[in-house]
Amino acid sequence: MIVALALAMSMAAAPARPAPGPFPFPIHRRQLANGLQVFFVPYDSPGLAAYFTVFRVGSRDEVEPGRTGFAHFFEHLSYRGTKAHSADEWERTTKSLGMDSNAFTDDDITAYWLYGPSSALPAVVALEADRFMNLDYREDDFKVESRAVLGELMKTQASPDFAVEEASRQLAFTRHTYRHTTIGFERDVRDMPSGYRYSLEFYRQLYRPDAAMVLVVGDFDEKAVFEAIERSYGPWQGTARRAKIEPEPPQREEREARRAWSTPVLPRLWQGWHTPGAEDLDATAAQLVLWPLLFGPPSQLYRELILERRLAQEISGEFQPRRDPYLFGYELVLENAAAEAPARAAVERAVADIVAGKVDPRVLADVKANVLATLVMQTDTPYRTGIWLVYYGGTTGDPGSLDEVMRRVERLGPDDLAAFAKRWLVPSNRTTIVVATGGAPEKAAARGGVQ
Amino acid sequence: MSRRLLAAAGAAALAAACAGTGGSAGTRTASPSTAGAPPLHAGVGAGSRIGLPAPSHPTIAMRVMFLTGSVDDPPGKEGLTALTAAIMAEGGTARLSAAELQRALYPMAAELEAVTAKETVVFAGRCPKEDLERFLPILEDVVRQPRFDPAEIERLKRRAIDAVAKRLRTESDEELGKETLSLMLYGGHPYGHFTGGTVQGLASITADDVKAHWKRVFTQGRMSVGSAGGYDGDLPARFARDLAGLPGGALRPPVPPPVTRAPRFLLVEKPSAPTAISMGMTWDVRRGDPDFPALVVAVSALGEHRQGSAFRLFKELREVRGLNYGAYAYPEHFVQAPGSALPAVNHPRTHQEFTVWVRPVEPQHRLFAVRAALYEVERWAKAGLSQEELDRVKKFLAGYTLTFDQADTRRLGYALDDRFYGLDKPWLATFRSRLATLELEEVNAAIRRHVDPARLRIAVATHGAAELAAEIRTGARSPITYAVAKPREVLAADQVIERLPLGIAGAEDVKVVKVEELFEK
């Protein structure tokens, strides 16, 4: 109690931001003395609120050979109970409170959320603080849970898109942990049951208050909820100890790989270029605009590849900021194998046009309008609003960086985009992956058909 | 599965599979009409309107729903309704080519999609409120003046064929399992083919078919319109007035009740090892039926979709036994809304189903997983819920369902579905208020009245289907071993599960098909 009081005295309370930027809601910031950041976003959702606990921990932190997938596995383990509240009790209590709940893990973040009646918030705060501070699971439960992760891997394995993601990371990265997907290499997932001690270490080192943020979006009594957070999270101690993550050395030569798929599928063509990470807000803004300008519905490529020449059925792979330098890429679902060469040539031309500063000002204006309008369209519930802040907060450490990026989007001109493309979208910095039906033998493969 | 295909007895292995006699798995003819529910479609069609204004909201949702769906696909043209709707939504309007349509929507970040279900097509639109005057005419033109550009018809037709032949069959085990179950439950019925069409049905569709179908089914008589969110005034009236030029048309005849004739098991042979399992049965209850709230609560207890181990199937299959990523149960046809675990709106059906979805398992556990799910369903059907479980699930649903209609577009979707089901009062409000008074005995009695595990049909998409068929036919045990010690009660239950009778009448109650035979015609 004394500790908690002392901590409460030292809270740094920041004033609410009076004028929201492009992000349509104010973000109220607080921080506990132990480093935990707390963000409140009042939202007109009478009686409802979304509660997120976000760790700036993800598959990026998996430096140990043979232990890929553990950040995500750890997300599963976080539902396995504490001494005070067993797994069953946590589940039954949160469900009795009427809460929708789940969690997700990505390269840079792990986010746990509950969404439902605001009246449940005091109880939710206490339960969530307890499980992240006092997680306590047995090795038997650990082993059983690892099979749920294998099940999660299995559900995606029939998809060539998953094969593209695996292959593109493995080829584009040689050192950095972005080399593996968040779910991890299959051999590591199968070997997860051997990693109990590693998982405990992972928890001790990374699930610390300075690596976490709490985000509350919706209709709530901010003072009361903050007091509950102070009480429950205040005693949480320690600082995250991160292993050194090797930076990816600059790519000097173009890379390309092809994978044969044993069942009839539409061929996939993926290309990506290494680009700066989320701390470079200008680069994030440039990529948010450049992606739709090159590959989105208003682009020349979209019209040419999909509507006019019908070389592709889809273009996907929309840009998403990552904490460290990642990839600016696109994926085409091609009509057939013969479409690959002309589609690649068309992309080359489109990139060359950007580099040459050939940007249609009307399309650029439309793209900027879209980026800003998307913020309005996709903040139509407290949960969806929170997701924006989870990602921007998780990748930069500050959810408010979303506004900073959006302001940069508004200022971008053709020269900025040309300079970005000239610097990064060059062949020597590019990786290409093709997955297409090939003459592979039909053999039952746990790997879903990739040979 | 088309009606024509079924008429051609023995034309394909699947036809044989779905037209089997059923045996002890039970073939029950659903009652001619859903007993306790109000008459359907009381408030839909004929240009009926729904307005749910919330002027302070920053976006406006608009939906145009037609009482047409894959049930209106002519025999031999399976997929015509979904293809027509896609061509309307994406292929351009009289004023805008397909490319111009995309360009026009883009700066607003506006959403405009056509969703085709068995009995409905909805054109769902949404835009920032300041863009209403730009957006509304586009949405209206999509419905009243589609361009029917031959190049777009060809492009979208090709995409639809590939979506079946090269994606549904091979790219998602989970979807394959679910759609196989649908073929089983509804073979020979208007619901009996994949909503997106069959490969041969789609291939036979011409531009003239599309235009004629648009005139026939996208009519005033079948249309309802609605709007929700940031507007003032009577937007739905304006919307309806603007669409008044559509042909009047006639209402669709009622959809007859399904009669399931499939064998107990349909096993789909596919190249990859992860094994997908779906099981289910039709039942004659739906929203508006006095028993339905009780059944929604009961099925939630059995396996609420993606809500964790407080619910039985998830608890027993995943958390206790580590068989897979999850298992769930549904009291009505379920489509997950994109980006959430919520049920998608505007997939209403005259005839509903009770289904169980077991997410992919490793092949060595496939038969155990089938039995484990059956064991849970049988236990639940026989003994019902406990008082503690009922109280907990009621509290959960009272809170959780508040998020169902939080977004304007979903609120509007629910209101349209209410009209489809002929409900005077909103389903969600009725359900929430009913939760307060539901008693244990009426919930368990509703289960007893409506659930017969012997009627479940089971779809398994796997590699090595013939071996599995042999195991099922011989009733082979399916023991499971664990890498860790298990509580005595789990091992005792496993002893029962590994021997659980699979409910087949004979060898014919287990059919095997190759994946390429499915969704062909």
Q: Which residues of B touch A308 (CB under 8 A)?
A: 99
Q: How large is the C-alpha radius of gyration of chain B?
A: 23
Q: Which residue of A has its CA nearest to B103?
A: A298
Q: How large is the C-alpha radius of gyration of chain A?
A: 23
Q: Do B324 and A313 touch (CB under 8 A)?
A: no
User: Does B191 reside within a domain?
Assistant: yes
Q: Do B308 and A91 touch (CB under 8 A)?
A: yes
Residue B316's contacts (CB-CB under 8 Å, 6 or more residues apart) are: B372, B376
pLDDT digits (tens, 9 = 90+) for A46-66: 999 999 999 999 999 999 999
Partner residue facing A370 (CB), from B109, B155, B310? B109
pLDDT digits (tens, 9 = 90+) for B145-198: 999 999 999 999 999 999 999 999 999 999 999 999 999 999 999 999 999 999
> Could you tell me if A299 and A393 lie in one domain?
yes
Partner residue facing B306 (CB), from A102, A120, A139? A102
Q: What is the mean pLDDT of residues A65-93?
A: 96
The pLDDT assigned to A87 comes to 96
Residue B355's contacts (CB-CB under 8 Å, 6 or more residues apart) are: B178, B181, B278, B279, B280, B329, B330, B333, B334
**pLDDT at residue B27 tops 50:** no
pLDDT digits (tens, 9 = 90+) for B439-481: 999 999 999 999 999 999 999 999 999 999 999 999 999 999 9
Domain of A377? Answer: 255-437
Q: Which residue of A has its CA nearest to B167?
A: A265
Number of structural domains chain A divides into = 2
Q: Residue B323: which of B490, B182, B138, B108 has the closest Cα?
A: B490
Q: Which residues of A touch B165 (CB under 8 A)?
A: 264
The pLDDT assigned to A222 comes to 98
Q: Which residues of A touch B399 (CB under 8 A)?
A: 97-99, 116-117, 120
> Could you tell me if B282 and B196 lie in one domain?
no
Q: Do B402 and A116 touch (CB under 8 A)?
A: yes
User: Does A37 reside within a domain?
Assistant: yes
Give the model's confidence band at A158: pLDDT under 50 very low, under 70 low, under 90 confident, else very high: confident
> Could you tell me if A268 and A224 lie in one domain?
no
**Which of A114, A154, A383, A390 should one mutate to test binding to chain B, selecting the residue with the greatest count of B CBs within 10 A?**
A154
Q: Which residues of A touch B127 (CB under 8 A)?
A: 377
**pLDDT at residue B95 tops 70:** yes
> Could you tell me if A229 and A259 lie in one domain?
no
> Could you tell me if A47 and A172 lie in one domain?
yes
The pLDDT assigned to B42 comes to 58
ipTM over 0.85: yes
User: Does A365 touch chain B if contact means CB atoms closer than 8 Å?
Assistant: yes
pTM exceeds 0.80, yes or no: yes
User: Does B260 reside within a domain?
Assistant: no
The pLDDT assigned to A19 comes to 45
> Could you tell me if B28 and B136 lie in one domain?
yes
> In this structure, what token pair is assigned to residue A353?
């046009």
Partner residue facing A48 (CB), from B110, B173, B403? B403
Q: Do B109 and A373 touch (CB under 8 A)?
A: yes
User: Does A200 touch chain B if contact means CB atoms closer than 8 Å?
Assistant: no
Domain of B400? Answer: 265-517
Alpha-carbon gap, residue A294 to B176, rounded angstroms: 34
> In this structure, what token pair is assigned to residue B340?
């959430």
User: Does A407 reside within a domain?
Assistant: yes
Q: Which residues of A touch B174 (CB under 8 A)?
A: 155
Q: Do B272 and A444 touch (CB under 8 A)?
A: yes
Which CATH number fits the domain that encloses residue B16?
A: 3.30.830.10
**pLDDT at residue A447 tops 90:** no
User: Does A381 touch chain B if contact means CB atoms closer than 8 Å?
Assistant: yes
Q: Which residues of A touch B323 (CB under 8 A)?
A: 147, 151
Size of interface A-B (CB pairs under 8 A): 221
**pLDDT at residue A448 tops 50:** no
Q: Chain B neighbours among A 206-235 (CB < 8 Å)?
A: none
What is the percent of chain B where pLDDT is above 70?
92
Q: Residue A76: which of A2, A184, A180, A177 has the closest Cα?
A: A184
Distance set, CA B200 to CA A13, A258, B74, B488 (Å): 66, 32, 13, 54
User: Does B45 reside within a domain?
Assistant: yes
Write the single-letter amino acid at B454: A
Indicate the residue among A233, A265, A283 that finishes a domain.
Answer: A233
The residue count for chain B: 521
